[in-house]
Amino acid sequence: MTDNNFELVENPDYEDFNLEMLHDYWSFKDAGHRKFTYTVKALLNKYDLKTSDKLVRIIRHSGHLGFKKLLDCKRCYKTFNVYTRKDIDFDKRHWFSTQLICGYCRKLAVELHVKENLVEFKQFIPVDQQIENQPPTAELKYLEKIFLYSLLTNVKIVGKNSIPPQEWSTFKEVEANGLQYILKNIIEKRYIININQYDIFAEKQNELRKLYNKSESQLSGELKDEINYYLRLSFNSEINVEMPKGFNSFEDWIEKLYEEIIEEKLLVSDYKELEKYILNKRLLEVYSLLDYVCQLKSIPVKKNNAFELDLMRMLLKYDLQHVLAIFMYMAKQTAADLYDMSQKVFDVKVFMKEPIFGRHLASYLDHLERKNEKPKYPRQLPENWTYSEIELFVSSQIIGNYEKWEKFTPHEVLSLWMEAKGVELTEE
């Protein structure tokens, strides 16, 4: 139906209904331009009427023009009714476009979107915990054993095999530092069960809640009830450690793990993993020292790839105590620059302040390299520095020097570890 395809609707039940008058009134001589055949004056003469008010009254009760228009959904039509000539150009008014929004289809679209999200959400509802877990059978690798050993000797196992969530998250925060991928492997091998399940569920539930709040007004009561049911679901986190077959107690298993860690020969792949672990751990430690210094000295810093390259260059060459010394020195220079800047520039923006620290670091490292010098003094780590249990275990039980790793570069730690385990690497 085109814009000007009006349909004349008659209302013959009206007491003063006048078919001819209705047709004359709405007769177009040029429908495209909406020009009428008769003027109002001609109609008044023809039907012997005194005022146009009367004409309009009879006309508006005798019928109207219907005008069908396709809505923005491109599927539904809406009929607009025109009762008198003054409204003939209703579709040229500024408010007309808002009349073309299809509320019905929008509501359907929102509902559909919410329903699709709900289907996806349901996949994340944790399954019944009553399922009996099979004992894990996959071989553990060297670092995985060390991680598990440290876990089992540092957290309290409650009930049959549960780790309280609080103890788990504290352990994970310090120990998974650089060991996230090892942790992931242990979970995949099912020695630790149900770790992220509830976190993901809670996250998905949160997403659903946001979507619900946004779309609530468009949803049917039934759908709202269903979503509310899912929003009320909650699960208690439980982390279980699964013992492999052949052990009577956790003590037995811990003892066996210890034995293997001490006696086992290293594979080439173990060596590569140790190297990766030590470097990752050190990089994360360097970042926490950086945050510590920046907070202490109130200095902003721009962390980007170029900056991280300099951090890597630094941590490969210098131990952690010297890294801290470098950071403190850079912070001092940066603070001086920031002071100068505030004296000269009226409004110092963050983007002007942020790169200063990185620039100082890059040029200082260049300087040390050129002169082949070491930074002069090491610095003690902050008093509240948390040492990793894995680090302390390796230092006392494997390397046997009882030294913390902060005095060594990553490669020095690796060499000490290799020396203690014997350099003979078994090929796979």
Of 70-78, 136-144, 298-306, 390-398, which segment contacts Zn ion by CB under 5 A?
70-78
CB-nearer residue toward Zn ion: 102 or 163: 102
Question: CB of residue 110 vs Zn ion: minimum separation in angstroms?
Answer: 13
C-beta of 50 vs 74, nearer to Zn ion: 74
Q: Does residue 102 touch Zn ion according to CB under 5 A?
A: yes
Q: Where are the beta strands (DSSP E) in 107-171?
A: 162-163
> Which tokens belong to 326?
């470098």
- The packing angle between helices 305-317 and 410-421, to 10°, is 50
Dihedral over Cα of 120, 125, 128, 129: its sign = positive
In the numeric block, the tokens 């007491």 are attached to 15
Contacts 24+ apart (CB under 8 A), 34-42: 34/4, 34/88, 34/89, 36/85, 40/85
Q: By CB under 5 A, tell whether 93 contacts Zn ion.
A: no
Contacts of 8 (CB under 8 A, 6+ apart): 22, 23, 26, 63, 64, 65, 66
Exactly one of 40, 49, 56, 76 binds Zn ion (CB under 5 A); which one? 76
Q: Single out the residue of 49, 56, 105, 398 in contact with Zn ion (rule: CB under 5 A).
A: 105
How many of the chain's residues bind Zn ion (CB under 5 A)? 5
**Cβ neighbours, 10 Å, residue 296:** 12
Closest contact distance (angstroms) between CB of 105 and Zn ion is 3
Taking CB under 5 A as the binding criterion, the range among 96-104, 191-199, 224-232, 372-380 that sits at the site for Zn ion is 96-104
Residue whose structure tokens are 């003590």? 251
Minimum CB separation of residue 102 from Zn ion in Å reads: 3
Q: Is 114 in the site for Zn ion (CB under 5 A)?
A: no
Nearer to Zn ion, 71 or 174 (CB): 71
Under a CB-based contact definition with an 8 Å cutoff, are residues 172 and 154 in contact?
no
**100 belongs to the binding site for Zn ion (CB under 5 A):** no
Tokens, residue 122: 């349901």
Contact call for residue 56 and Zn ion (CB under 5 A): no
Closest CB 107 distance from Zn ion, rounded Å: 9
Question: Is position 75 an interface residue for Zn ion (rule: CB under 5 A)?
Answer: yes
CB nearer to Zn ion: give 77 or 287.
77
Q: Which residues bind Zn ion (CB under 5 A)?
A: 73, 75-76, 102, 105
